Structure 1
């Protein structure tokens, strides 16, 4: 029984930590860190490595921000589609509506009662669904989009923390090098 609870705890820990990027190591003791480096106190190499890591984090952040923006644009469209599907489901008689034909051009249309709708799935693919199936699909897509938005927000928070740790490391190593040079010049 105890084995199961340990596995569950391990699963929770691994699922809550985003896997968007590797974790940045905080340099607490710069002297010890610099003595451990493969180039033996080569500040330029260490700073270059931190700078590359920082650039990777910024690249990942840009990708996540684009993903979040895409999801934010998608969400209102999905919600509007769901509203329309619910209206079509409740419809008993013909109803009149307006739709956007092109930029700033609206057209009136009379929509007869229907049991099927066509949905664009992307990549120039449109499929016909029953209203119930379409409603289920769009509802599922909304839930998936919400889940992805939450995950992207968590990943961005984690990534910003890693970026901050890397920036602090760069500053600490740079300041360490300045102090080392100043103490060497005084002697």
Structure 2
């Protein structure tokens, strides 16, 4: 009974990755999986459904990874800006002169007075004021979470691609087995 409660390892039947994606079974011996030719169409159909599910999960994960790849540099740039402002906080200069981007090709100069706070866009048209130390902590944690999430997406993509290949190989093996069985039947009829 204890063996049934043990977590399944990759490659074992019934394995599910940490995000709940099931592993596709690999068919070593087609005859053990398909008992007779009447089951071939249902087996091929189940593989086609499995393949479409894996491809849907792959596309969804690719979109999520793409969004994270766009978001990570923005978070990093914001964190760098906050850290720069923090480094200038204790300098005796009265103002900081900088150039900032208004649009893709339009820049303006600004004088920034020293401040203990920064304003961060949180999304959904929400901006909040944070003390610089708090903003640094928040951005650091968001950057770390985004990088971890991207790493998870990449692991899932690799897992999904392996399973897509397994299902495609299984489909080909079952189809070829069926063709071979039909040939053998035709030869017996002759």
CA offsets 1:9-53 (integer angstroms, 9 cap, x no match): x68x69x943242111111111121118xxx73322211110111
Provide the C-alpha distance between the structure 2 equivalents of 1:106 and 1:174, rounded to a whole number of angstroms.
Answer: 63
Match of 2:85 among 88, 110, 124: 88
Alignment of 1:56-75 (within 5 A): 56-75=53-72
Match of 1:7 in 2: none
Provide the C-alpha distance between the structure 1 equivalents of 2:107 and 2:59, rounded to a whole number of angstroms.
Answer: 36
Partner SS state of residue 109, structure 2: strand
Structure 1 regions of 5+ residues with no counterpart? 1-9
Which structure shows the bigger proportion of residues in helix conformation?
1
Provide the C-alpha distance between the structure 1 equivalents of 2:100 and 2:52, rounded to a whole number of angstroms.
Answer: 45
Provide the C-alpha distance between the structure 2 equivalents of 1:165 and 1:20, rounded to a whole number of angstroms.
Answer: 18
Structure 1 segments, 4+ long, off by >2 Å, are 16-20
Q: Do structure 1's residue 180 and structure 2's residue 181 form an aligned pair?
A: yes
Q: Do structure 1's residue 28 and structure 2's residue 28 form an aligned pair?
A: yes
After TM superposition, the score normalised by the length of structure 1 is: 0.86
Root-mean-square deviation (Å): 2.1
Provide the C-alpha distance between the structure 2 equivalents of 1:64 and 1:20, rounded to a whole number of angstroms.
Answer: 13
Provide the C-alpha distance between the structure 2 equivalents of 1:144 and 1:20, rounded to a whole number of angstroms.
Answer: 20
Provide the C-alpha distance between the structure 1 equivalents of 2:45 and 2:99, rounded to a whole number of angstroms.
Answer: 59
Partner SS state of residue 19, structure 1: coil
Partner SS state of residue 122, structure 2: strand
Alignment of 1:140-151 (within 5 A): 140-151=141-152
Alignment of 1:3-152 (within 5 A): 17-35=17-35, 41-91=38-88, 92=91, 93=93, 94-152=95-153
Provide the C-alpha distance between the structure 2 equivalents of 1:138 and 1:52, rounded to a whole number of angstroms.
Answer: 42
After TM superposition, the score normalised by the length of structure 2 is: 0.85
Match of 2:3 in 1: none
Structure 2 regions of 5+ residues with no counterpart? 1-5, 11-15
Match of 1:161 in 2: 162
Q: Tell whether the 8 Å contact from 2:17 to 2:23 is kept in structure 1 after alignment.
A: no
Provide the C-alpha distance between the structure 1 equivalents of 2:100 and 2:40, rounded to a whole number of angstroms.
Answer: 63
Provide the C-alpha distance between the structure 2 equivalents of 1:120 and 1:165, rounded to a whole number of angstroms.
Answer: 44
